[in-house]
Amino acid sequence: MSTTNIGLVDSTELHHVFESLMMFRSEGINVPGITVFCQHGRRKWLVIAKEFTIVITGDSADFTGAYKLPLTIVANAGRPRAAAGAVEFTIRDGMVTASSSLGTQTLPCNSVPMPKLERTAVSRARATAQLGGKELLYTIFSGANPPFETNMVDDDDDERKTPDHFLLRIEDGQLHVSSDWTGARLYLMRAHTSAITTGAGQIKVDPDMLNIIYNCVDEDSTWTLSYDGKESLDIVLESDTHYIVAKMVIAPAAKLHERVVKILEREQFDFHTTAGGPIGVRHDGVVISLDFFQRDGDAAPLVRLSTVVTRDANESGDLLREINAHNQSGSVTRLWFDNGAVHLAIDVLPDNLMGLAQRLRLLSNEAGRLRGVLDPFAAESALPPKRRTRRRTTKPKVQPEVWD
């Protein structure tokens, strides 16, 4: 068997890798191993977890293949005072050996397919801020870290609540970071610093994001922080040695989707879904679409339960009168005519999710009842079209196809 030498790794590179691994360990995040490979003449270290992808670029290297190494052999080489200077890694017969001036360590490793690294696409909606590592760390620490007075209280107060997110905002040459600690009977934390910015936008970030910033951000490097300013699902942190994708953005509509799926599973509904997309529920022969909407501003998202009551309907006068009568009756459901069909829907806010199963059953029952009422009117001749000035037509809205 041939021997693969992945190179002599200096202490700086080892330190970067070690700090990333320690972040996962301190948070109890399961990481099955670290992958090392060569790309464009540089050594790459790749760590993938549920909510993080970290790529660390090392020095020049020239070897083929990709290898998943146990965390221990890399951590022991990068741990402070563990190794004297640079460490040489060699792989042979399914084993990896780390050699330094103090001795060697050998552990099992695996050959793996070459990773395909995908970078986040650049778009006009993406807000970016470029700044030094020291400025980034100071601003994050000042705006999002718990206040010094946290836990400095004389009594145990269960009503004190720590914030479930902090805010990042990029605009007009500034990076702003803030967090609201008034629920813990403290105060608002606000910080900002100058940065080279493009685009603008604000996002809510899970506090766990602080750990990766504190462990991975190098003070002496220039960093670029970016996210989609309108509907972000991740944050990207990038320097000349690191490329980090963190799925720590709190997207209210996505969180609502997760909660709805759990309810449908618990209530044993027959449903079909894709990640973050519409959900189709089949109940008593009625197919119901669940669509998620993020409303403007800080308003809570909502889930809309809708179904088609009657298809191929004519827009007759009697049909429209029945629709209006239903909507004015005080029912929690509402009807409308669109694109040759009659739709029935209920909007549910996050605070009312306890009644989601009841609402689904109600919508299914109402759809069955109204179908018998509306079908005769839908078959009547349509009203003659109104004479109107010519204007640009828009694409009609139809119920999403969420069930094969």
Hey, what domains does the chain have and what are their CATH numbers? 4-112 (3.10.150.10), 126-152+159-249 (3.10.150.10), 253-378 (3.30.1460.10)
What is the mean predicted confidence (pLDDT) over 163-175?
Answer: 92
CA 379 to chain centre: 46
What is the mean predicted confidence (pLDDT) over 173-180?
Answer: 96
Cα–Cα distance for residue pair 90/156, rounded to 1 Å? 55
Q: State the DSSP H helix or E strand holding residue 236, giving kind and residue range, or none if neither.
A: strand 235-238
Is the pLDDT at 70 greater than 90? The verdict is: yes
Each residue's pLDDT tens digit, 322-352: 899 999 998 899 999 998 899 999 999 888 8
Cα–Cα distance for residue pair 267/149, rounded to 1 Å? 44
- Burial degree of 347 (CB within 10 A; 0-12, 13-18, 19+): middle
Cα–Cα distance for residue pair 359/347, rounded to 1 Å? 9
Residue type at position 212? I
pTM of the model: 0.66
- Average pLDDT, rounded, for the chain: 86
What is the mean predicted confidence (pLDDT) over 62-88?
Answer: 87
HEC profile for 114-183? CCCCCCCCCCCCEEEEEEEHHHHHHHHHHHHCCCCCCCCCCCCCCCCCCCCCEEEEEECCEEEEEEECHH
User: What pLDDT shows up at residue 393?
Assistant: 47
User: What pLDDT shows up at residue 396?
Assistant: 44
Is the pLDDT at 394 greater than 50? The verdict is: no
Each residue's pLDDT tens digit, 218-257: 999 999 999 987 767 789 999 999 999 998 887 677 778 8
- Burial degree of 390 (CB within 10 A; 0-12, 13-18, 19+): exposed
Each residue's pLDDT tens digit, 92-140: 999 999 998 888 999 999 999 999 887 877 777 799 999 999 999 999 9
User: What pLDDT shows up at residue 276?
Assistant: 59
User: What pLDDT shows up at residue 367?
Assistant: 92
The sign of the dihedral angle between the CA atoms of 29, 27, 221, 78 is: negative
User: What pLDDT shows up at residue 114?
Assistant: 94
Is the pLDDT at 364 greater than 90? The verdict is: yes
User: What pLDDT shows up at residue 296?
Assistant: 62
User: What pLDDT shows up at residue 158?
Assistant: 59
Q: What percent of the chain has pLDDT over 90?
A: 52
User: What pLDDT shows up at residue 2?
Assistant: 85
Is the pLDDT at 270 greater than 70? The verdict is: yes
Specify the length of the chain in residues: 404
Residue 248's nearest CA partner among 20, 12, 6, 53 is 53
CA angle, residues 129, 132, 136, in degrees to nearest 5: 70
